[in-house]
Chains A and B, each alone.
Chain A
Amino acid sequence: MSEAPRPARETLRPDLEVIAGWIPAGARVLDLGCGDGQLMGWLEQSRGCTGYGVEIDDAEVLACVRRGIDVIQQDIEAGLGMFGHGQFDIVVLSMAIQATHQTEKVLREMSQVGSEGIVSFPNFGHWYHAWSILRGRMPVSREMPYEWFDTPNLHLATVRDFEDFLERLGLVITGRAFLADGHPVRTLPALRATQAIYRFRRAAQDRSG
């Protein structure tokens, strides 16, 4: 019960390391589906950032409080109405978009609440997934370790799908990075990346809104 807050200087998950590298010092950050608050903890300690995690799971909320970061217990699909427009410099959604029901609504709200959004997701277009389906099996991989009958994943996308989606929402891609099992991928990322990470902002004409 009297366990002291854990030091936040720990090795970040590879996609979170990429995300952290994109976030400027002192930024005001909202981390949606923040889990145990690893990213927010690191950003506060190492970058002097401020902000909140948003998490629905009881155990993760408790882990955030133990870590000493501020967390708002809420289902992100219930809407981000609690957060005012433009309240944050950066809104992060890491490895959670594929489990959202109302993916379009979540992305729209992200782009309203923050000046810039960052999303990481498992790339369904990875060659192994195609190979698995060719062999007649739904793919099960490190980023998607679930059998088809008990997966939380609803909206899986390939790199190209996701880029089209951002364009359709009027969002401009300002950065992209690809990882394969935690290591950067530069050639043929659409086929070789297991994780994709995008940063984006509203198109210039409606950035004021």
Chain B
Amino acid sequence: MSVPGSVGQVVPQRMYFDAPLDLRSGAALAGYELVYETYGTLDASRSNAVLICHALNASHHVAGTYGDDPKSAGWWDNMVGPGKPVDTNRFFVVGINNLGSCFGSTGPMSPNPATGAPYGPDFPVVTVEDWVHAQARLADALGIERFAAVMGGSLGGMQALAWAVLYPERIAHCVAIATAAKLSAQNIAFNEVARRAIITDPDFHGGRFYSHGVVPAHGLQVARMIGHITYLSDDSMAAKFGRLLRPAVQAREADAPASEPGDAAAAAVRSDYRFTFDVEFEIESYLRYQGEKFSKYFDANTYLLITRALDYFDPALAHDGDLAAALAPATADFLIASFTTDWRFAPERSREVVQALLAARKRVTYAEIDAPHGHDAFLLEDPQYLQLVAAYFDRIHARCVGAART
């Protein structure tokens, strides 16, 4: 076995679709473009394809780097690569940027064919199901009839679940991590606060801020700050920041990056308050830094669209709330995993999915990973988590790829 490594330098690809895409809202996209990346090689029997679905602020760039910049590593580079749990020596892995996103696929920043100007707020509201239909067309074009696995975390896990229901014959395994079959009221509430922060920013201009040469940066910052709070656990925040005060020098530079706790401890630790509303605590500095970083690369209209897609996802809705009935068409085997300290997509939400899968007599494995990092854990290194996914992908390989060869 080779030492786990990176897929190396990767180049995103684009594909244009001129057939209209009918959306769940009743609207349609006349034509659209998807940006995607692939890693590994599709085998002759086309049995080894794995689709990775991204969550709120990620993209098609799942693994590898652009050029030789190590900072450009893909968002799931610890999961996908040669010798990694989703082993690109064995699997052909596809990452697709979803419609409405701001990383190259058709979205609010793209020109509206009707006007020539950016869509802005006129970009249709898209749903998880719409994304899956668009992804399926890209799979058609790549010659993938059936995925060995469709996998995602959080909102990506919702797409994996939707795949299992919408295209049962095209997905052999569904790997849904730190996800839910529907958001709770509390979860929708967090999304709404984020959206209000953006929409009420004077620079939002009803979503047409592009033509004003501004972005609603303050709204995006607040949206990201509240999002970030919900991705961390109380304990991990306490361990990382506690009540540490920002050193006096750095406190004056509100946009200074938060330093590691060790550095903060090494710096002159203050114990005296400055009695201001400027950055005082380390946690404030960290959130502001995350918010500002985010506001420089993420599109405000995309944030609205993607949080709405999260809110709307509820496959049981059409079955009087009966999730088992909603999942009945699925023929895939399922791996559902949650993290004990995740309160944004709590284990209880995953257990609801498992319970429905059991009632629907599906093959399902459920792991509840004891990790301290909250919702973010699905992106982080955790031996039990990574070994579990690796073991499950061994099974996927034996069942799909090994079986196709004999």
Residues of A within 8 A of B (CB): 1-5, 50, 52, 58, 61-62, 64-66, 68, 70-74, 81-84, 87
Contact = CB atoms under 8 A, between A and B. Distances in A.
Contact of A87 (B354, B359, B366, B392): B359
B359 A2 contact: no
Interface string B355-399: 100110001111110100000000000001001101110110110
B266 interface: no
A143 B87 CA distance: 42
Nearest to A54: B366
A5 B396 CA distance: 10
Interface string B6-22: 00000000000000000
B1 A2 contact: yes
A84 B90 CA distance: 38
B394 A73 contact: no
A62 B387 CA distance: 8
B83 interface: yes
Contacts of A87: 358-359
B4 interface: yes
Given A82-B351, A82-B354, A4 B394 contact: yes
B366 A74 contact: yes
Nearest to B85: A1
Contact of A65 (B1, B395, B397): B395
A71 B398 CA distance: 18
B359 to A, nearest CB: 5
A146 to B, nearest CB: 25
Contact of A83 (B83, B358, B370, B392): B358
A121 to B, nearest CB: 26
Contacts of A70: 333, 363-365
Contact of A58 (B87, B351, B370, B395): B370
A90 to B, nearest CB: 15
B395 A74 contact: no
Interface in B44-87: 83-85, 87
A66 B85 CA distance: 13
A191 to B, nearest CB: 42
Contacts of B359: 84, 87
A1 B398 contact: no
Contact of B391 (A50, A52, A66): A66
Contacts of B354: 72, 82
Nearest to A87: B358
A40 to B, nearest CB: 12
Contacts of A66: 391, 394
29 contacts: A1-B1, A1-B83, A1-B87, A1-B394, A2-B1, A4-B398, A5-B394, A5-B395, A5-B398, A52-B364, A58-B370, A61-B367, A64-B365, A65-B388, A65-B395, A68-B395, A70-B333, A70-B364, A70-B365, A72-B354, A72-B365, A72-B366, A73-B368, A74-B366, A74-B368, A82-B351, A82-B355, A83-B355, A83-B358
